[in-house]
């Protein structure tokens, strides 16, 4: 027999189904009213608040650590054994470098010579070159052998003057092509490092034609230039018609291609009578020729 209503429920069954649905609905509503979701509980809210505070605190500390304001660098004599943080920061040192100095001193470390400061953890070679002329080590921290003679307990009167030469006054000048490293260290801003570099570059050039050539030395302090005088007569000139290719290219102002161009010109056209004869060669620019002019002879 075919049923006309395949899903027909009798009245009693319909009552039972409706009752179960009502119970289920009330159960779901009651559960949400009596047990709120975990992310809205007071404990979760407190945890969320604390997390936000920690995040804000971390951000603020990070901003404080790295967003350091720019400072004006003021170079002045200082003793790394006694200088405070304010003075060290004014010299251009970073906060972490100042902390390293404090940690070193707290552990009993002593800077006995200016060169000891170069071993400071985190200090760059450029910073040391700039600060070295201003380092002053108190006699209290010097080795006893340097303060007192072996057979005489009296202090050596000339020890400090030899270690830290008296700087030139603003009206004083020195001959750049004749001064040795001891005299060069008397120039304000020039320490042992720059004094050695000045002499070494002077030997390579054959002498300085003008003081601004010192700026060709890496990071040379420009404020030291007014203390020098230059006599171009002290320059040792190159005989460009006699020197070999290897000898020519040793000069800072002549590279390999230029030295070869000079040798080729001599071989093809004879001795040079003037640097202007090199203007047609691609290896030389007008600036190259003018820079080289004080250093050649024919």
DSSP codes joined into one string, 116-174: GGGGSTT--HHHHHHHGGGB---GGGS-HHHHB-SS--SBPTTHHHHHSPPPPPTT--E
Does this model's pTM top 0.85? My answer is no
13 inside domain: no
* Shared-domain flag, residues 133 and 101: yes
pLDDT digits (tens, 9 = 90+) for 117-146: 888 888 998 888 888 888 888 777 666 555
242 inside domain: yes
23 inside domain: no
* Shared-domain flag, residues 228 and 282: no
Q: What is the mean pLDDT of residues 46-72?
A: 52
Q: What is the mean pLDDT of residues 98-110?
A: 87
What's the domain range around 274?
A: 238-297
**The total number of structural domains that make up the chain:** 3
Q: What is the mean pLDDT of residues 21-34?
A: 76
206 inside domain: yes
Q: How far apart are CA 193 and CA 130, in angstroms?
A: 10
| Mean pLDDT, all residues of the chain | 80
76 inside domain: no
CATH code at 201? 1.10.150
CATH code at 256? 1.10.150.280
* Shared-domain flag, residues 190 and 250: no
* Shared-domain flag, residues 257 and 216: no
Judge whether residue 67 has pLDDT over 90. Answer: no
Q: How many CB atoms lie within 10 A of CB 267?
A: 8
Name which residue leads in pLDDT, 60 or 25: 25
């Amino acid at each position: 027999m075919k049923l006309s209503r395949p899903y027909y429920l009798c009245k009693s069954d319909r009552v039972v189904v409706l009752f179960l649905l009502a119970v289920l609905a009330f159960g779901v509503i009651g559960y949400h009213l009596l047990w709120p979701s975990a992310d809205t509980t007071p404990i979760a809210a407190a945890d969320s608040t604390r997390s936000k505070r920690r995040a804000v605190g971390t951000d603020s500390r990070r901003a404080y650590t790295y967003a350091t304001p720019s400072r004006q660098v003021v170079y002045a004599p200082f003793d790394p054994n006694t200088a405070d943080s304010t003075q060290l920061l004014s010299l251009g040192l970073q906060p972490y470098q100042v902390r390293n100095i404090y940690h070193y001193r707290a552990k009993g470390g002593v800077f006995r010579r200016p060169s000891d400061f170069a071993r400071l953890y985190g200090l760059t070679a450029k910073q040391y070159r700039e600060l070295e002329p201003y380092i002053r080590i108190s006699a209290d921290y010097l080795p006893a052998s340097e303060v007192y003679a072996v057979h005489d307990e009296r202090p050596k009167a000339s020890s400090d003057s030899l270690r830290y030469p008296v700087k030139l006054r603003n009206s004083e000048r020195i001959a750049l092509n004749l001064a040795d490293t001891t005299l060069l260290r008397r120039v304000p801003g020039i320490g042992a490092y720059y004094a050695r570099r000045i002499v070494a570059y002077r030997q390579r050039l054959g002498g300085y034609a003008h003081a601004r050539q010192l700026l060709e030395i890496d990071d040379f302090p420009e404020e030291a230039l007014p203390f020098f005088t230059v006599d171009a007569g002290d320059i040792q000139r190159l005989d460009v018609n006699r020197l070999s290719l290897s000898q020519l290219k040793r000069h800072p102002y002549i590279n390999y291609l230029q030295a070869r161009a000079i040798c080729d010109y001599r071989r093809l056209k004879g001795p040079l009578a003037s640097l202007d004869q090199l203007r047609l060669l691609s290896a030389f620019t007008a600036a190259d020729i003018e820079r080289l002019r004080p250093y050649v002879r024919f």
